Structure 1
Amino acid sequence: MIAKNMNLYGITPSVGRLYGKLYFNEDPMTLDDMRDALEMSKTSMSTGVRALSEMKMVEPAFRKGVRKDLYKSEEDWYKSFTSLFGNRWRHHTETNIEEAEETIQELEKLYHVTDDQQLKEKVTKDIERLRYAQNYYRWLMRFIQVVESGEIFQYVPKQ
């Protein structure tokens, strides 16, 4: 169930299974524990843990007398979602804003070097559309901030 749901957020089924195993396990686990439980390579476990850690869905743990690295799942799914959503959407949204600006600059150059009136009209319309897109992406950045800050829970309370 968890692996299927995590696929909605762009997380592979194997990483989803890893998170599910950590979530339902009572105690923190080593990479060897995970490998044995999921019958996957230690390299796959390490890559999966790193990905989950970057998304703040897994964190290091400590147990007295254990020298190997231990990991446990983040229990707060709301926190995990806001972190995952923010990280993924922020990167893509920032990229879209930058690419739109670069395209606008190129179109403005084209506008100033051509005498073709139809082309100038087309360029002007395209620039307007790109500015509209930038405004949308700036709005989306504000929305991402509302999610990341936890302010979203004032509007859509946790249950």
Structure 2
Amino acid sequence: MGSQMMKIEEARRDYIESLVETMEMYGLSPSMGRLFGIMFFHDEPMTLDEMRHQTGMSKTSMSTGVRALSRLKLVHKKWQKGVRKDLYEAEHDQFRSFVDFFAQQWEKEIELNQVSLRKSEQKLRALLDDPLLSDEDRAQVLRDLDKLDNAKRYYQWLGHLVEAFETEEIFKHVPIPDASD
């Protein structure tokens, strides 16, 4: 490898390592971050074997990582005439990746917590019908119901935020800078 290519690789490594740290902040493994970073700089779609050669990961880890990155829409399967192996490439539109990743995470959060909210609310409302409930406990139940109402408002707002991201309405309020900026 020539000295210029070594310098290019070193510059890439710096950004790849920052991607690794960033992805770790969002709950992804370092190997997934490294895999995404390598694919980000690769000009052509890659096979699992090519990825394994570049990362040193096992085929199983590689396959698991690619599936996870695909679910997050950070990696896409590609088709190429005459190539029999599966090919994958990184999503290069980081704005799209951001929208997809966070909308997906927030939708999971909403779904998970709305189910629990309804269950908690039903149990608390049922307690209000209990004739043996003391005034002190009744006051606590009412305070808890008020807290759940605030939580429901939050998830309603978060749902609107997800919609603004998915419809790209958000970019009217927070525009994507031009490439020249």
TM-score interval, normalised by the smaller of the two chains: over 0.9
Instruction: Report the RMSD for the aligned CA atoms in angstroms.
Output: 1.2
1:86: Cα distance to partner? 0.6
Task: Give the Å deviation of 1:63.
Answer: 2.7
Cα distance, 1:62 vs. partner? Answer: 2.4
Percent of aligned pairs with the same residue? 42
- Deviation for aligned residue 1:12: 1.4
TM-score (norm 2): 0.84
| Distance across 2 between alignment mates of 1:64 and 1:96 | 45
Aligned partners of 1:133, 1:27: CA distance in 2, in Å? 46
TM-score by length of 1: 0.95
Runs of 4+ in structure 1 over 4 Å off: none
Per the alignment, residue 20 of structure 1 pairs with: 37
2:8 corresponds to:
none
Which structure 2 residues correspond to residues 39-118 of structure 1 after superposition, within 5 A? 39-113=56-130, 114-118=132-136
Gaps of 5+ in 2: 1-17
**Cα distance in structure 2, aligned partners of 1:151 and 1:13:** 32
Aligned pair count reads 159
**Higher relative contact order, structure no. (Cα contacts within 8 Å, ≥ 6 residues apart):** 1
CA distance in 2, matches of 1:53, 1:80: 11
Secondary structure at the residue paired with 1:28?
Answer: coil
8 Å contact kept, 2:127–2:133: no
Q: Write the letter of the residue equivalent to 1:70.
A: L
The alpha-carbon deviation at position 55 of structure 1 amounts to 1.0
For structure 1, the 5+ residue unaligned runs are none
